Structure 1
Amino acid sequence: MKPLVQKLPRKEFKSFVSLELSTPLFETPWHRHIESEILYIHKGFGTAIIGDYVGEFTSGDLFYIGSNVPHWFKKSTDDLFCTVKVIQFDPTIFGRSFISLPEMARIRQLVELKQGMRIHYSSLSSLLPRVLSLESMEGFGHINGLLNILDEISANTENELITNEPIDSFDSKGIIDEVLEYIFSHFNKNIQLEELAAIAKMSSSNFRRFFKLNTKKSFSGFIKEIRIAHACKLLKDRNVFVSQIFHECGYRNISNFNRQFKEVKGITPSQYREQIWKP
């Protein structure tokens, strides 16, 4: 069974983790850790599950993930090579007195966030270079570099909170990992609740409650969001017709696909494609 509580190695002369991970170390299933995390997707794309959020990730994305928020970055295909810059720090790293200073109010609010956030850094010219160079810093520069990064993120009004609420319960036995892996492998088929309940060795009613507790979503709602996230990726290719896409995402008819796409994205698949390719 793969570990669900991830612990990255920290150098003995550093108080927090700042490193680059590449395939296969990138492939960590549904997991959590007490450390807050800043994660920059240097190379790769796929589906991100962060708390109750399901959506795409791609090269250039920058995320902030609060302490103990479960997450999984599932690459699009098994043979895809992915590289990510990771910063992990214990929220208590700064000590109660320091983090309580009035000058730290903005950073304190960020550090105490128990949700997931997409960081829009295009207007912050110094943020990404700081994230990329932090690993090479030592001594005071290392901790000061982290503070500068957190200060820039906390001051940015363009950040997008992508989770709706914290997940305060978590499957410690790894059952949810097997369930999610099965969904990722079969979302384009007609998955039945009973199939997943059998994997979890639960009754259908118990599994329904278990799934909701660990994802904050219903079984059917989660599969819908996985399918729509895959559709969004396919819609970026102008050579693929919408009539092809709905089949590849597990829908039996285009009207149901259009309806569910609009429920999730607020617009139709055709409108979504138009937005992407708008000159």
Structure 2
Amino acid sequence: MLNTTPQAFASRQAFASQQALASPQVFDACATVHCEGASAASPRESHPRCLHEHELHLIGARPARLRIGAGADQETHSFAPGTVVLLGPRLPHSLAFEHRAPPGGSAGELVLRFSDELLRRGMALFPELGDAGPLLARARQGVQFVGLGADTLARLRRIETLRGLARFSEFIALLNELAQWRDYRLLADVFLADAGFDEDGRALRIHKAIDYIRDNYAEALSLAEVGAIAGMRENAFSRSFRRATGQTFTDFVNGLRVARACRLLASTRQQVSSICYEVGFNNISNFNRHFRRIQGMTPGEFRGRRM
């Protein structure tokens, strides 16, 4: 029979607490970002998976082969050690390594997993996260980053050693670096997302629209104009855009403009009025209103805190 005396209960509680402290996974159970080493059990391929999370892979000492897609759409890519690859949610894939891991050691592979849904929610609360929208859209085709610097790779590895807010803060810094990295290649010719989102090729069209906005955010952009570039009617484009980015078209554009204004305010001596027009706002009062809404302060106050 189970001993239910107070002494026995206290003993079980103490044992459970010790187990919790001994296992770092307890602290990761509700984490936004999960870290793990890639499977080292076998060099053979795992079965193709279709996950609901983003996967950011750092290829370690062993070359790797990625199969992405299924059936006639399947493509195969080979990666050298040190390669970084981002795979979006619901993207069928399998990753295999060419050699076994060294006995009793680690081959240095690392995988970060993070929820697409949580980031989308975060974009609605923190407009600055909207900068990652185009990156997450590209991830639905798989992204290989070319020529990442040693500092970025070190940041990626450092995330594995951190917990809680420190890990999340380092992850956001890494996400920002990857979102701004312009030397990359897409791994699939078409989106291979779930049919519920990608029917009629809408995901590919939204991807095209996001890239256009990012390249032209300082110009006068309208929902109808960008929807036409994506080949979609205005209402359908508006709904699909919000579903993909977690933001309305207007909030997404203004978020990019304010983010660029913040960088200019912090790194240059340009007048606020000059920055206003450079980033795409058509009058200073409109600029100040959106800046205060997003940043919680005026452009002048923002600059003053960084001087």
Provide the TM-score with structure 2 as the length reference. Answer: 0.46
Between structure 1 and structure 2, the one with the greater Rg is 2
Provide the TM-score with structure 1 as the length reference. Answer: 0.50
- Determine which structure has the larger helix proportion and give its number: 2
